[in-house]
Structure 1
Amino acid sequence: MNKKLTAAATAGLLVASGGFMSQAMAEQGFSYDYVEGGIGLQDGFGEDLVGPFVNGSMSFDEMFAVVNFSYLTDDTDLMNFSAGTGYRFGITPELDVYGTFTVEYTDLEQEISITDPLTGETHTATYEDDDFGFGIAGGARYALTNDMELAGELKFLDTIDDRLDLTISYLYGVTPEIDVLAEAKIMDFADEDEFGSYLGARYHF
């Protein structure tokens, strides 16, 4: 419960602090109209999960809509889908902060081994769980140069297990429309830290 309150308060403060300043800020050059995708790798459940991810964003002035999907698999299959809305605040020409609220869906399917204490035989069973929940996030985007961007996001998710994610992203523009994307993620999942890395590309429209 304390983790949930702390995460929600942190994300809320990021949103609120930017809100007081947003009306006085100039129009910024950050794009919130894009689709991105690639391959993700996550060490979770004692396995190395790997699979595709696809994310998208579309702006409506300072507001924007977001959609995220990932499917990571090994002996465990982990699917995450989220959709929601956000608001951005221009702080300086090089810095944006934003907040989002999303509806989350997680589907988990895991093969587990069960040993019969009487016979010693080991059997394989499938554990399945899925849940709807919500996510609250606060983040910042900083333009290092005209071609390079560094971003950070803290997100609380209330799905199968309460979870707190910290994501650091790096973007390098290879053309005006296409960026190379690299991300590192730390996930506080079921009282254990898990790590993920993601590599892909972002297309601006």
Structure 2
Amino acid sequence: MSTELSMLDLFLQASLLVKAVMLVLLGMSIVSWTMIMKRSQVLSRADIRAARFEDRFWSGMDLSQLFQEIQVSKSYLSGSEQIFYSGFKEFARLHRSNIQVPGAVIDGTTRVMRVSLSKEVEVLETNLSFLATVGSISPYIGLFGTVWGIMHAFLALGAVKHATLAMVAPGIAEALIATAMGLFTAIPAVIAYNRLTVKVSKLENNYMNFMESFSSILHHQAFTALKE
């Protein structure tokens, strides 16, 4: 309890600029943790939804029936579901008008699915750049507060005739707290950014593998319909 009180006292006694630095770092830390928890939940849900949809996709269900089922909730589709929906919709449209040119049908369908994939990955990466920025600049913001606090302490020390360590210690201590807060803000942000980026990459690979498999199925259907 005394340690918490002394840190509070140091904050209250700090110069206005050092206080501002500490408050900025505290705000960045709070926002970072909020984004970390939110992004973790979003990516976990995306992973679960992708696994569930792919189980349905590979269950042997007719693709037209699957398309009709997910079309009901098309406003809430994401990930593999959205890629499937946009791809099958485009395939059906092109197939009706270009049944004699299956290559053109597959090329058009693949382009649409790639656009859908890009949008889904962009959604998954939301706020990750903020975490990277926080991880990069927080130590420097804290260091700026430290330098300013130490400079302020020595300037005050120079105004007295008999300087002692006890006189300069509080000023240096309050300055070093800014560095500690900078590291406290940066380290979780960097760790979270790396972990979340790995999760996004895994989901992106999963989506790409699904898209390639789905494209192969559509390719087979297009050329089978041509032979018939």
TM-score by length of 1: 0.23
- Higher share in helix: 2
Query: Taking CA–CA contacts closer than 8 Å with sequence separation of 6 or more, which of the two structures ends up with the larger relative contact order?
Result: 2
- Higher share in strand: 1
TM-score by length of 2: 0.21
